[in-house]
Amino acid sequence: MSDHAKPAHQPLTFRRYKDGDAKPLSWQQEIFDADHTHKCPTYIQSTPPCQGSCPAGEDIRGYLNIVRGIEKPPAGVPWQEYAWRRLTEANPLPSVMGRVCPAPCESGCNRNQVEDFVGINSVEHFLGEWAIEKQLAFVKPATRSGKTVAVIGGGPAGLSAAYQLALRGHDVTIFDERAELGGMMRYGIPGFRTPRQVLDAEIGRILDLGVTARMNTRIGRDITLDQIKADFDAVFLGLGAQSGRALPVPGAEAPNCVTATAFLKAFNDGRMAHVGKRVVVIGGGDTSIDVATVARRLGHIDQLHESDRPENAMAAGTGFAAHDAAVLSRRQGAEVTLTSIFAVEKMQASKHEVEHALSEGITIRGGLAPLAVLVGADGRATGLRLIRCEARIAGGKLDVKHIAGTEEDIEADLIVSAIGQAVDFSGLEQLDNGRGAITTDKNYQVQGQAGMFCGGDVIRPHLLTTAIGHGAIAADGIDKHLRGLAQDKRPKVDVHSFDLMRKMVEKGLKITAITEPIHGTDKSTGAVHNFDNRSDRYVIPHKSLFLGHFNYTERNKRQVVSLTADEALNNFEERLIPLLEAKAQAEAKRCMSCGQCFECDNCVVYCPQTAVFKVPKAKATTGRYVDTDYNKCVGCHICADVCPTGYIQMGLGE
C-alpha cells in the first residue's frame, strides 16, 4: 500500500493533551497549574490497619467511634450495647478475647507513629464485661431455614461458626468429646487468664440462639463422620490441635517429660495440685508462658510420695486422691526455667506476658536448643541438655544453627514441651492431607467435599482469634451452600467493614435501589458525593494520614496485678482489671479513625473556596458528614492535606 493510500489519522475520543503536544509536562506542571488542578477531592472509605491485622476482621474503628461518641446509636439503644453489637458481628467472645488475644491489631495501629497504639484490647474487654453485667443476649433470627449443620468441635472456631450459622436461621448441633464447651479456651488457657464464669457466660449466649450441644461425643468413636454427613445438610470441622508435640530428642519418652497440652489440661481439670521443685519448659510462645506461670503458682510439696508425682495426675483415667491429699503438705515455690531457641526479645509470646513471668521469678533464657533429656536409673528425667544456638526463619522455614562446644545441663524434676500442637485425626484419618492438616479452598471448604467446611488449628495452628475468623468465613460458605448459591471469591481484605447503607437506614433516610452505584455520583441518595468504599481491597497506611493533627496523648492502660515470686505461689486470682467507663471512652478517643471521616471539620474550615460543606444534619450520618460543591472547587488539594484520617483523596478528573 502506498503512503497516500493509508487511512487518515483518527483523533482519539478522549485526550488529556491538545493536538500537537508530543511530550507531557513534568508531573508538577501536569498536576498543578497555579492555584488549581484538574484533580478534585473524593471520599474514600478504606480499611484501617488495626482491622486489617485482626484475624477475626472486627470492625474496630466502628466500635471505637461508637464508644468515643462520634457514631450515634439508634434511639433508645445505649452506646455500650450498640458498640458491643458492632463488635460481636465478627467476634461473639469479646470478654475472653479482650483478655487473652495478643492483639495483632495494636501492632498494626497507625497511632504507633504518633506515640503509642490505641488500647483496642482493653476497650473490647470493657465492652465484653459490660454486656455480661447487663446480661445482653444475641437477637434470634425471625425465620428458620429448616437446614441443619453439624459442628464438630466446641472450641473458638466451632463456636464462631455455630454462632454465625444460628444467626442465619440454621439449626446447629455442636459435637465435642469433652464434658464442656470451650476447647483450648477452657482446657488450655488457665483460669486466672480466662475466668470460667466469663467463658460460660459468652458460650451460654451462643447456645441461647438455639444451638444444641452433644458433649462427650467423639467423631470416629461414638458416631461416624459418614453418619453425620447423612444426618445433616452441611458439616463444619473445628477439630482443634489439642495433641501436644513431644520433644524430638533422645530420652523424651521419660514419664516426667510431658507436653504442654497434657500439663494444662490436667491443671484445668483440677487433677494436678503441684509440680516438682525444678521445672523446665521448652517453647517461647504464649502456651509456654501459661505453663511456666501455672507451675510457679502450683509449686512443690515437701513430702513427696510416688503416687504424688505430677505426671501421674496427667495420665488419663488415673485416680488422684493421693495427689489431692498431698496438698496438705507444706507448699513451696518451684524453680521454673523457660527456654527458647529464639532470643528472649524475639520470642512469639506476648511482651506483657513475658514481663509478668519475669516479675514472678520465672527464669527465661533464649538462644538455647534441646539436645537430650537426661534419664536416671529409674527411667525418670533428671535434667535437660541444651546447646547455644542461632535461630531464624528464612523463606518460611525455621533454620537453627548449633554453636559447638556450648552444651550445658539443667536439672529438672518435670520437663514440659511447649513446642507446638497437632490435630488428633483418630477416626478421621481420611481427612489428613499428610501434613497434619486439612486442605481447603479460600472459603475453607474441604477439597473435594462439597458441603464440608473447616477452620481453626485444623487448617493451621494459630491464634484463638484466627480460629474465630475462620469460623465466620466458613459460615458464609456454608450458608451459600445451603441456599444453593455459588461460592464467591473472598475479598482481598476480608473484614467486617462499616456499612454506610445500613447507617442511612438507621437514620431513617430513603436510599435508592441497591442496583444503583453508590460511588462516583451526585444523583443517588444512597451515596456521598463521589464516595467509594474500598475497604475490601485497600488498607490505609500512616503516610496517607495528616499525623500533625494528633497531639501526644498517653495510653489509658488497664491495671495489671503484678506478683512477685512469693506472691505468685498459690495465687489463682485474675490479674487483668478492666478499664472504667470514662477511661474506656478516653482510650477510644485516641483512635485516629484511619480511612473514615471522624468529623473534625478541618476540610470545611480550611477550604479557601468554601467548596467543602457539611451535609445538612437531617441528612448526615457517620460516613456522610461532608460534601463538595464542584462548581466552586478549584482542586487546590488543601482539604486532602489537612484530612487527619486520609478519608479525602485527590482523584476526581483522573
Residue 327, pLDDT score: 40
DSSP letters for 313-358: HHSTT---HHHHHGGGSPEE--EEEEEESS-GGG-SS-HHHHHHHH
Cell numbers at 188, concatenated: 488450655
Reported as type and span, the H/E element at residue 504 is helix 500-507
Residue 569, pLDDT score: 86
Residue 23, pLDDT score: 63
Residue 516, pLDDT score: 54
Model pLDDT for residues 599-615, shown as the tens digit of each residue? 999 999 999 999 999 99
Would you call 479 helix, strand, or coil by DSSP?
Answer: helix
The CB-based long-range contact list for 227-231 (8 Å cut-off, 24+ gap) reads: 228/150, 228/152, 228/175, 229/451, 229/452, 231/148, 231/150
Report the CATH fold assignment for 50-241+423-497. FAD/NAD(P)-binding domain (3.50.50)
CA torsion sign for 177, 179, 184, 188 is negative
Contact 476, 443 (CB under 8 A): yes
Reported as type and span, the H/E element at residue 453 is strand 452-454
CA atoms of 536 and 49, how far apart (whole Å)? 12
| Residue with the larger pLDDT of the pair 369 and 351 | 369
The number of angstroms, rounded, from the C-alpha of 367 to the middle of its chain's C-alpha atoms is 28
Distances in Å between the alpha carbon of 407 and those of 411, 598, 652? 14, 58, 66
Model pLDDT for residues 570-593, shown as the tens digit of each residue? 889 998 999 999 999 999 999 999
| pTM score over 0.75 | yes
Q: How do the domains of the chain map onto residue ranges?
A: 25-46+499-534+596-654, 50-241+423-497, 244-420
- The reply to whether 244-420 shares the fold of 25-46+499-534+596-654 is no
One-letter amino acid of 134:
K
Mean pLDDT within 417-430 = 89
Q: Is the pLDDT of residue 537 over 90?
A: yes
Per-residue DSSP letter, 33: B
Confidence of residue 412 (pLDDT cuts 50, 70, 90): very high
Scan for cell 456499612, then name that residue. Answer: 499
CA atoms of 552 and 225, how far apart (whole Å)? 57
Q: Is the pLDDT of residue 314 over 90?
A: no
Q: What values do phi and psi take at 297, rounded to 5?
A: -75, -40
CA atoms of 167 and 148, how far apart (whole Å)? 13
* Least-confidence region, from 32-46, 210-224, 520-534: 520-534
Confidence of residue 393 (pLDDT cuts 50, 70, 90): confident
Q: Which residues pair with 442 in a beta bridge?
A: none
For domain 25-46+499-534+596-654, give the CATH number.
Answer: 3.30.70.20
Distances in Å between the alpha carbon of 375 and those of 278, 305, 309, 338? 15, 20, 16, 20
Scan for cell 476540610, then name that residue. Answer: 603
Model pLDDT for residues 115-133, shown as the tens digit of each residue? 999 999 999 999 999 999 9
Scan for cell 444451638, then name that residue. Answer: 211
Model pLDDT for residues 129-172, shown as the tens digit of each residue? 999 999 999 999 999 999 999 999 999 999 999 999 999 999 99
Report the CATH fold assignment for 244-420. FAD/NAD(P)-binding domain (3.50.50)
Contact 141, 168 (CB under 8 A): yes
Scan for cell 515455690, then name that residue. Answer: 333
Residue 395, pLDDT score: 78
Q: Which residues pair with 368 in a beta bridge?
A: 388
